[in-house]
Amino acid sequence: MSLLELTVRNVKRNFRLYSIYLFSMIAGVIIQFTFTSLMYNKDIMDALQNRANFQTGVGIASLVVFLFIIFFILYANSFFMKQRKKEFGMYLLYGLNERQITRMVFYETLIMSAISLFTGILIGGLLSKLFGMLLMDLMHYDQVISLSFPMPSIAATIGVFLLLAMIISVQSYIMLNRVQLTELFHAKQKMEKPVRVSSAWAMIAVLLLGMAFALISSGKGSVFWQDYATVSMIAVTVGIIAGTFLFFRQFAGWLLQAVSRRKKYYEGNTMLWTSSLRFQIRGNTLNLTFISLFSAAIMLLLSFMTINYKVQFEAVGRNLPNDIAFESLASSTNNRIDSLIRSSGHEVRYHLTQEAIVAEPVSDMGPAFENPEYYTPYLLLVSEQTYNGLMQERDPKQSLDLQGEEAVTLAQGSDFAQSYAANRQPEFKVKTDGETAFRIIEKKDYAYLGWSSDPVRSMVIKPAVLVISDEAYRSLREHADKKSFEIYGIADAGRAEELSKQVHAIVTETPGAYYSSFADVYSKQIEGSALMLFSSGFLALIAIFALASVIYFKQLREATDERLQYTILRKMGVDDRQMKSVIRKQLLFVFLPPLVLGVCHSWFIIKYYILDSVQGFTGLSATVWGIMGVYFLIYVLFYASSTNVYYKIVNENP
């Protein structure tokens, strides 16, 4: 019998194991092909405004997807090889050498790759249309996506899995050479010893996790993060990782030990499921730690990207509140731009010409304008009346009422916006023809003019604006330098990229002239955040598959190893109902703690370092809980599937 014939025979004989492996490979092909095909889809590329950025982003994300697929497939192959150690031992006994067995595994991998490539590319091509439509919907583009099977994407996917076949062969060869022949025959007969647990180490696990959660919940404004940021970061990292490891290594064992000391320990089936778990702690510690941390990373990634996406729509409007705004130029140039805007097809909702005084800051700009390096070095003093005139068109709720020396700084993007009590209002001095002192009554997280923008570089710098009372403005106006600004509100401003390029080209003929357009940033931010959310969704999908493989294969291995014990229990009179109850309780102890810890890790970080930074946006907490709810549901499905598979395996003859 040739190696090829032996390979085909193996596939037929071990169909159940191969079906698990085949499913892993097909899932990898679908994800790889579906993702890369988007980069070569003509309909998608035609709809995008920033094609180069999209291709770069997809390229980077494809690399990350590829790395996840390698981990996913190699883990599945590792399990597959361990399950077949006895079979390989027989081949070695019959005279085959390691190279021949490795070649046989390579043939098997090629057969599996061919099947998975054909099936995966077919399904992936169908799904690419669906996912392409989803991507366009995320970007708010009304574009029809056609079904396509791009040759570059097919070639890339085939290349990836040929490379994987080579890597798998190397992995198989290394695994075969690392073990002795006797080990191959007795691979399934090794029994793990229960871990020696200590109540002190169990307490340390709880203290480490408590310390990490306490530091995180103290918030970034606390003294720990303001004065000891590096130490706090190290403490949180150590607390989460070491605390999680010790939780499963010591606290779980201590808890099982405490259960075994109860008077009712021998009642019901408690002894059956706890005794098995005590022997599995040593082998499960790293897996459960990995699952907890990986679960937290998945939820954190997806939550962050979803929040980032939802925030972008409103954040762009906060950063660039004017559809088109530019510094007033010569009358002929202003008229030329006005004609261009009105003939562009974008209806003009309003057009205002507004004046501001140019002043130099005498006081330190830091307290008035957070991160002053993002602002112009000069100030623009805007009268209350002028400011309120624009607010009538934009948002009347933002109107101000100022008296005398009162002033409001417009520090859009500030994390510490606040109103000051009468006895705590900081003084802020400015210089026009002479020095003038104002009392800041509020630092407002709002923009009057917004960032200056560029169709290529997006946001450049933002004007430092101080709103002052009308009487203060009148007293300074006569002897001060002034600038005027043309502010337009237009319909469908998000799709005015071409108009913005034309207006920007005219304005920049005057060096240093201010220009700002909502469209310059909107398409880049929305396309970028949509792509990141889309990519993170794919990464989360394959990460969940990887996580499922870790859980599923581990339980499959343990169920296979415990068939003899369950056969003995059945002979002793334990019925199916009790067996199912034992399996459910045993697996619940494996599934529930990693889920709870993963949710806690991710929620604390999301709540205190993401949600607290975007408090002005509604519905974000519900979104995060929705993501965690979906993850919980998927996890429940994993649990139900594992209990069913576990029960079927232990009912087979050992």
What amino acid is encoded at 125 in this protein?
G
pLDDT at 254: 83
Residue numbers of the chain with a pLDDT score lower than 70? 1, 11, 13-21, 24, 49-50, 83, 178-195, 265-273, 276, 278-283, 415, 549, 616, 652-654
Helices (H) and strands (E) in the chain, counts: 21, 11
pLDDT at 335: 93
DSSP 192: P
d(C-alpha 383, C-alpha 94), whole Å: 94
d(C-alpha 236, C-alpha 238), whole Å: 6
pLDDT at 15: 64
Residue 447 burial (CB < 10 Å; 0-12/13-18/19+)? buried
| Helices marked H in 218-269 | 223-227, 229-246, 252-260
Phi-psi group of 401: left, alpha or beta (phi > 0 → left; psi -120 to 50 → alpha; rest → beta): beta
pLDDT at 130: 85
- Location of structure tokens 């990229």: 497
Q: Nearest 5 degrees, angle CA 590-CA 73-CA 90? A: 90
Domains of the chain by residue range: 1-190, 191-318+522-654, 348-490
Of 272, 29, 328, 27, the C-alpha closest to 159 is: 29
Say if CB 474 and CB 318 are below 8 A apart: no
HSE-up of residue 322 (Cα within 13 Å, Cβ side): 28
d(C-alpha 309, C-alpha 640), whole Å: 33
pLDDT at 337: 93
Residues with Cβ within 8 Å of 427's Cβ and at least 6 positions away in sequence, in order, are: 363, 437, 438, 439, 440
pLDDT at 150: 84
Question: What phi, psi does 230 have (nearest 5°)?
Answer: -65, -45
pLDDT at 349: 93
pLDDT tens digit string along 601-635?
999 999 888 888 777 677 888 889 998 998 888 88
